[in-house]
Structure 1
């Protein structure tokens, strides 16, 4: 059995109809701290979202936007980097899958993300947390990261390429 989500905000399916229901969710301090640990952040100071929930063809669609304020460490220097994220989302909460489709299908860029619900409620908090996880820069770099690396003797891609070595042989810039 999986652990409970750090940031759970459940909305009953019975309370969501074809007329959009506007909702707002925000993580408290303990939830932000738990999510920061989950995603390897130095800190998560704010996580909130607003969405319109609508029943569509047997599923629930959430359209909205997530806002976050977080601090990560630069991968090169370790310096703290404060980041503000504002990400729109469109998530379709589907009933649990009872069978696996045998044929392949492709999604295009206009298709929304999909998550299963438990038949009773959707968890918008966990959906927002997953949206945050997908929005975080995996390799954040401070503005001076290249200079710090160069001073430490680490070559950048341009300096380490075969063409850079050839340039060095012929003394051309």
Structure 2
């Protein structure tokens, strides 16, 4: 499986990173923000920046830490109205040639300890793309059910009737 094209690209080569690391300030332009918004299903990304620090990881890998700041427009799941929101998300990821291939099969038993440290992501070649990292961490930070501030769901008072189990009970009662 090939990796999808990133929304915007900021490649960094292993050889560019000194032992003490290197700071990166990423600012996106309008076309890049439009591509990120389209990819993430957002009406708009008005601003997207990241402050990242890239350091060597082990012998031949890289670690990325920092913060993403974004001003986005989302659609409220209650009112279906667009609203503006700010996103501030931490970034913490490591890449290594012996890291975990996201396309490889894995053993569910290995996931038993939620406190265990995640393995590094697979580093293919000698380059990482900070644009892809920023897009991924922004996607992870988005609320899957965004609500406009102050929006409340006002049902008919019979929320219990919405349960699939309530529907099964009604069918069971009809058969009785």
**Normalising to structure 2: TM-score of the pair?**
0.75
Change in CA separation of 1:57 and 1:44 when aligned onto 2, cut-off 3 Å: same
Cα RMSD (Å) of the superposition?
Answer: 3.0
Counterparts of 1:119 and 1:26, CA distance in 2:
25
Superposed CA offset, 1:45-89 (max 9, x none): 111111111112131001111111101011121111211011111
Give the equivalent residue in structure 2 for 1:144. 151
Change in CA separation of 1:137 and 1:98 when aligned onto 2, cut-off 3 Å: closer
Counterparts of 1:31 and 1:154, CA distance in 2:
45
Q: Answer yes or no: is the 8 Å Cα contact 2:26–2:51 preserved in 1.
A: yes
Instruction: State the 1:120 CA deviation.
Output: 2.3
Give the equivalent residue in structure 1 for 2:86. 84
Counterparts of 2:24 and 2:116, CA distance in 1:
23
Counterparts of 2:119 and 2:66, CA distance in 1:
13
Counterparts of 1:64 and 1:49, CA distance in 2:
7
Give the equivalent residue in structure 2 for 1:70. 72
Give the equivalent residue in structure 2 for 1:131. 137
Question: Between Structure 1 and Structure 2, how many residues are aligned?
Answer: 157
Change in CA separation of 1:87 and 1:14 when aligned onto 2, cut-off 3 Å: same
Secondary structure in 2 matching 1:52? strand
Q: Answer yes or no: is the 8 Å Cα contact 1:27–1:48 preserved in 2.
A: yes
Counterparts of 2:115 and 2:34, CA distance in 1:
32
Which moves more between the two structures, 135-144 or 97-106? 97-106
